[in-house]
Structure 1
Amino acid sequence: MEAIKPPPLKPLNENQIDFFRENGYVLLKKCCSDDLVDAFNGHIYDIRDQTPMPDWAACDERKKYAVRLFNPHKHDSFSRQLMKLPIIRGALAQLMGREAVCVQSMYFYKEPGSPGQASHQDYYYIKNDPMTMIAAWTAMEDLVDEENGCLWVMPGTHKLGLLPHGAVKNLEEHESHTEETEGVDTSRQIPVIMEKGDILFFSELLIHSSNKNRSKDRWRRSYVCHYIREDSNVLHREDLRQKYPLY
């Protein structure tokens, strides 16, 4: 007998949904307990502490706590559980109008001194049809602020459509291997201050960035998953074609 799919939660009120529609993002506070976040952080470190590291997580031993961990949800059950938290499933269903599926996950370590990512739109990297993608960015530190490299967002820019992207200009501040938006004044971006367990949901067309971690001893760990509506499909990226349901 096929299992009955539980209905999604409805964690967002109408004001929050309207805020997302107008600004391209919405922040939900304390979606994960401290214990859950701490356990997941420890689990991710344990993965790269294995000898040898699993092939899917492998990187230079000297950079094992620096190189972001790509798509752990494809290989690791704990990562899948955080990917499909009921509050995430519910919020996405409210914002998308129907169920979402996950296509990408990333765990960022962002140690002190590490660069950020220049202003960009996620759709530039992950094109999907119809365009429905929303990211869920979970804070894995007690405090994520300007000092340790929080996200910066540019409200309302999800209404501009896809903008041109070009070479990163400030290599002291940002990674060189990505690209950044062109043709718009990104100085109007604002910081999103977050606490452990907070989740920021934002549109694939929202211009956002992060700066260098300027703290001396504070990391900026985060778990970021990208979701599309269940009837949407990723284009051009064979590595992201598989859809992971949230129930």
Structure 2
Amino acid sequence: MEIIKSVKYLTINPKNVNVETSPSYILSKEQLNFYQENGFLIINGLIDFESLYNFKKRFIHIAKGVVDKGQITIVSEPALVAMGATGEDVINKLQNIENDDIFSTYIEDPRLLDVVSQLIDSDSVVAFHSMLINKPPGTGRHPPHQDLYYLPIRPADKIVAAWTAIDDVNKENGCLFVIPKSHKKHSLVAHSKTSGSNKLYYGIMDESLAPEAECVNLVMSTGDTVLFHPLLLHGSGPNISKNYRKAITCHYASGQCHYVPVEGTVQEPVAREIEAEARKKNFHIDFVDFWRYKNRLVRGVKSNL
């Protein structure tokens, strides 16, 4: 249990930056070592309150139909739909937010990109999947999974997810949980569909790989950001509170990464489902092209993706 104590206290406050110049955040050797060893790192207050307020306001406007959602996909929570909930009370998340004028400021935030580029050790950074997660009261558990399961991108060490709390998050409203060091213990493992949940919600088939005794709940305040490795086993608990639990997230990869075929691997089920969902929207593309279509270079001048 020693790791849990160290996790609790290794949450680093960002250095002050001059807002009139390009922000710069340099990770310490301790931070880099902690990420490499444990597969995640929390930075306190990385994203400012004004930005988070604007993200929340934008979400509410989209939920109420006040503004055009554009290319954003609205994902509802099936259990709450069945109960007759509507509007903000039923929206689980907004996907594909990278081209929205407001949400894109998170994806392109220089402070965040400073951190990302150091964790993946690359001057070229590609953003390829983004969401604003609402998690209304009554939303269920998201079982332990590995984000790499959804991605035909390699190498894994050149990929990182950023997840920022818009609201305070705790165990009652369904904070993230992680299994420290699991990115080193396990390669990509088999996943299966989660019964009764949203489309494309997969969890590891063998949950003994994520024993409860090793789970660390990431209690975070508004503006805190966790960055984690795509092989890290993680999930989130149910929201049993009376409040929403909003967060904004984006996955990044080095422009030096490449695509790999997934036919005949544990990833084939999710690849086929993603292709089927794309066809429903008249996009006849394969798994790799789906991700190639979504990615966008946000730092640097060249990308292989």
Shared topology, TM-score over 0.5? yes
Q: Matches of 1:54 and 1:39 in 2, distance apart?
A: 15
Matches for 1:200-239 after TM superposition, within 5 Å = 200-216=226-242, 218-234=243-259, 236-239=287-290
**Structure 1: which 5+ residue stretches go unaligned?**
1-5
- Partner of 1:12 in structure 2? 27
Counterpart of 1:102 in 2: which secondary structure? strand
- Partner of 1:3 in structure 2? none
Counterpart of 1:68 in 2: which secondary structure? strand
- Partner of 1:178 in structure 2? 201
Provide the identity percentage: 25
Deviation at 1:58, TM superposition (A): 5.8
**Structure 2: which 5+ residue stretches go unaligned?**
1-20, 261-286, 300-305
Q: Matches of 1:8 and 1:125 in 2, distance apart?
A: 32
- Partner of 2:118 in structure 1? 94
Q: Matches of 2:200 and 2:73 in 1, distance apart?
A: 19
Deviation at 1:237, TM superposition (A): 4.0
Q: Please report the TM-score for the alignment, with normalisation by the length of structure 1.
A: 0.86
Q: Please report the TM-score for the alignment, with normalisation by the length of structure 2.
A: 0.70
Q: Matches of 1:158 and 1:28 in 2, distance apart?
A: 20
Identify if the C-alpha distance between structure 1 residues 246 and 214 changes in structure 2 by more than 3 Å, giving closer, same or farther.
same
Amino acid at match of 1:97: D
Matched length? 236
Q: Which protein has the bigger helix share?
A: 2
Q: Matches of 1:156 and 1:206 in 2, distance apart?
A: 7
Identify if the C-alpha distance between structure 1 residues 130 and 33 changes in structure 2 by more than 3 Å, giving closer, same or farther.
same
2:105 pairs with 77, 81, 87, which one? 81
Deviation at 1:80, TM superposition (A): 1.4
Identify if the C-alpha distance between structure 1 residues 44 and 22 changes in structure 2 by more than 3 Å, giving closer, same or farther.
same
Deviation at 1:110, TM superposition (A): 0.6
Deviations 1:1-23 (A, max 9, x none): xxxxx998343111010000000
CA contact (8 A) 1:115 1:175 kept: no
Q: Say whether residues 1:21 and 2:21 are aligned partners.
A: no
Counterpart of 2:42 in 1: which secondary structure? strand
Q: Matches of 1:35 and 1:234 in 2, distance apart?
A: 37
CA contact (8 A) 1:149 1:213 kept: yes
Q: Matches of 1:67 and 1:191 in 2, distance apart?
A: 20
Counterpart of 2:129 in 1: which secondary structure? strand
- Partner of 2:188 in structure 1? 162
Q: Say whether residues 1:149 and 2:200 are aligned partners.
A: no
Question: RMSD across aligned C-alpha pairs, in angstroms?
Answer: 2.5
